[in-house]
């Protein structure tokens, strides 16, 4: 169980796209090591993905012990 107060990743639902913003260094490292992405998928600090991929991405983050909000 993760007892940290701050989320490692903040997820925003924008309809057909979900924005994943890694907040902590641990989360940024996880994205670097586990997510293949193109530069155009990043909007500022957030990775934008099709809504169909969001549940699997959240599951991977949680399985890695990261707090998702």
Q: What percent of the chain has pLDDT over 70?
A: 93
Q: Which residues of the chain have pLDDT under 70?
A: 1-5
CB 35 within 8 A of CB 56: no
Distance CA 2, CA 19 (A): 22
DSSP annotation string for 22-44? E-SHHHHHHHHHH----GGGEET
- What is the predicted pLDDT for the residue at 58? 98
CB 22 within 8 A of CB 31: yes
Distance CA 22, CA 32 (A): 10
Cα Rg of the chain, angstroms: 11
- What is the predicted pLDDT for the residue at 1? 47
């Amino acid at each position: 169980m993760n007892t940290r107060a701050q989320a490692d990743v903040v997820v925003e639902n924008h309809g057909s796209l979900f924005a994943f913003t890694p907040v902590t260094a641990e989360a940024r490292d996880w994205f670097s090591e586990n997510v293949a992405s193109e530069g155009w998928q990043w909007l500022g600090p957030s990775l934008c993905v099709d809504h169909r991929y969001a549940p699997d991405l959240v599951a991977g983050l949680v399985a890695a012990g990261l707090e998702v909000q």
